[in-house]
Amino acid sequence: MTLIALTGGIAAGKSTIARRLAEHGAVIVDADQIVRDVQSPGSPVVTAIATEFGDAVVTEDGALDRAALAERVFGDQEALARLNAIVHPAVREESARRFAAASVDPGAVVVYDVPLLVEARADDPWELIVVAHAPAEVRRRRMIELRGMTPEAADARLAAQVDDDRRLAIADVVIDTAGELSHTVAQVDALWERLRPDTAPSPED
């Protein structure tokens, strides 16, 4: 099994890259989906979050009130650290389980689609780190024009993330997503030629 980390800032085109790799046959493990799964109603994670932040962050049917929780921790680094101390270990455990399930096929190419790689998982034993990259002004425009965010909300989201230099510093491969979709796809296709099982070099090579 080949284990790849895929990361990028908000609106950098990471999902586009993941979809293209999936079309080629890669197994995509989505960190955001894992977060939603471990925070399902009644889960130990939701119980721990409610204990830490109060019942106001949980709805009457036991689901996590994501908006209320976001309001509680946004801009408060200490509160965010407490939340991460609850969520990250559960995500790490579940992602490891999914990697193990994929490893049944020794030729599998597994791509972990993870926004917070720099913040939480940069030191894991990835065989390759792929970074989707577009300048901040391009991503800001996408958030406003394509996602309907206000300029103020877009700026806040950008400011809350690690800067591009830190993300690029850990990259083995950078996919430039600032241009046309066809340019991004061509780069992903070239990457797959390096990754696909029938062309990947053996450990002895």
109-113 vs 128-133, strand pairing mode: unpaired
202 pLDDT exceeds 90?
A: no
How far is it, in rounded angstroms, from Cα 104 to Cα 100? 7
Q: Residues 150-184: pLDDT tens digits?
A: 999 999 889 988 999 999 999 999 999 999 999 99
CB within 8 Å of 70: residues ≥ 6 apart: none
Domain that includes residue 144, residue range: 2-38+92-195
Contact 2, 110 (CB under 8 A): yes
Q: Is residue 107 part of a domain?
A: yes
Q: Is residue 43 part of a domain?
A: no
Q: Is residue 111 part of a domain?
A: yes
- Structural domains of the chain, count: 1
Highest mean pLDDT among 132-141, 157-166, 189-198: 132-141
173-176 vs 109-113, strand pairing mode: unpaired
Q: Is residue 175 part of a domain?
A: yes
Packing angle, helices 44-53 and 66-73, rounded to 10: 50
Contact 112, 95 (CB under 8 A): yes
Q: Which of 182, 58, 22, 29 is nearest to 117 (CA)?
A: 29
Q: Is residue 71 part of a domain?
A: no
CB within 8 Å of 136: residues ≥ 6 apart: 9, 158, 164
pLDDT of residue 199: 54
What one-letter code names the amino acid at 90?
A
At 151, which CATH number? 3.40.50.300
Of the CA atoms within 13 Å of residue 175, those in its CB half-sphere come to 33
Confidence band for 75, pLDDT divided at 50, 70 and 90: confident
Q: Is residue 79 part of a domain?
A: no
Q: Is residue 150 part of a domain?
A: yes
What one-letter code names the amino acid at 3?
L
Q: Is residue 60 part of a domain?
A: no
How far is it, in rounded angstroms, from Cα 159 to Cα 130? 22
C-alpha Rg value of the chain to the nearest Å: 18
CB within 8 Å of 196: residues ≥ 6 apart: 24, 25, 109
What one-letter code names the amino acid at 33?
Q
Q: Residues 120-129: pLDDT tens digits?
A: 898 899 999 9
Record the pTM: 0.88
